[in-house]
Amino acid sequence: MDEYIERLKDGSLKLYALEKELPPAEAVRVRRAFIEGETHTALTGVGSFSIDIDRVVKRNIENMIGTVQVPLGVAGPLRVKGEYATGSYYLPLATTEGALVASVNRGCSLITRAGGADVRIMRDGMTRAPVFAARDVGHAHGVAAWVDEHIEDIRRAAESTTKHGKFLDAATYVAGTSVYVRLEFDTKDAMGMNMVTIAGQKVGELIERETGARLIALSGNMCTDKKPAAINLVRGRGKTVVAGVRLTDAMIADLLKTDADTLAEANYRKNLVGSARAASLGFNAHAANVVAAMFIACGQDPAHVVEGSSAITTVDRVDGGVYVSVTLPSLPVGTVGGGTGIDTQRECLTMLGVAGGGDPPGTHAKAFAEIVAAGVLAGELSLLGALAAQHLARAHQEHGRG
């Protein structure tokens, strides 16, 4: 080991090149030892892990020195009545926020007692939006018109790059001499960003060749990926999922310790009016909490929590109770690819019965999206109930949270 550390110090060996000379596990060990020396920090905890190093250094990480472990809890059972997910589930939640799992667990109990959450996927499409430079406004208009008139040519170019993905649509947006083409794909059980990026490159080259517009960037931020954006809230990105449950007055009183009118008013003044006054893109209590915890546990891209947080929670007063629902317009999820194959994350997906590809393709990712939406509904119900009953601070104190 000393020889490699000396070479790293004198610059004759780069950190990223260790795997070219050593087996992955040894390369990680040497790199960690070098960083320990450089930073004067013992990384004993970081160096203790159980995942398959050979896989992750090839597919998931560069310059690996170990892992950061996040506590994993479960909430449930949660009854889900979806088109793809039907049954009772224990939700794996990876978080360091005390009281979160307990809160979601209470929501799960309430939903299950009510007979389960109705969940439906309204639409499904992953996007990539290349941007082109036109010569002038007239040329920009012509580029947009060409796209509209040659959808089948675009389809053939896009689908020539993948055996799994299916091209769905192309929408154009013009700003001066900039032309954005928002491409949408059905990516089956993959979250699909790699798939749509490769297909987008092929389409971009086609449009550039046929229209004379210059392809400036494969992503022009109209996708919109990993950033808060109204276009995702309106048009959707990934899975657009809605989950709802009907609660009786007795259930609200027994488990949430409040009443239907107070619950509805808390949602109206907090989630709807408060969010509007803040010009928020999310009209919910804490959807991001559940999305983040399930994403981390199940190998999703945590950066997509920003899209998943753009959720809308509604409470409708009905005879004898309320109907509570959450709408997640932009939930990018997958059960193959990315971090879903890492040992611990795959175990969490297996808990839910959605690991790997579904039969037919796409059904596992859709089932997972339905489960996540039902979990968000559980979290919203519990926090709204705590706020309506003035129990939030007490709950955090009881769980020892400062």
| Residues annotated as part of the active site | 97, 301, 396
Residues 21 and 364: their CA atoms lie apart, in Å, by 39
Peptide bond before residue 332 is cis, with ω within 30 degrees of 0: no
Distance of CA 163 to CAs 183, 199, 202, Å? 17, 11, 15
Q: How crowded is residue 178: how many other Cβ atoms within 10 Å of its Cβ?
A: 16
Q: Which two tokens stand for residue 165?
A: 């993905």
Residues 283 and 267: their CA atoms lie apart, in Å, by 9
- Beta carbons of 345 and 298 less than 8 angstroms apart: yes
- Beta carbons of 372 and 241 less than 8 angstroms apart: yes
Query: SS3 of 237, please?
Result: strand
Q: Any residues with CB less than 8 A from the CB of 401 and at least 6 apart, and which?
A: 98, 99
End-to-end CA distance of the chain: 44
The size of the chain, in residues, is: 402
Q: Which two tokens stand for residue 153?
A: 């040519």
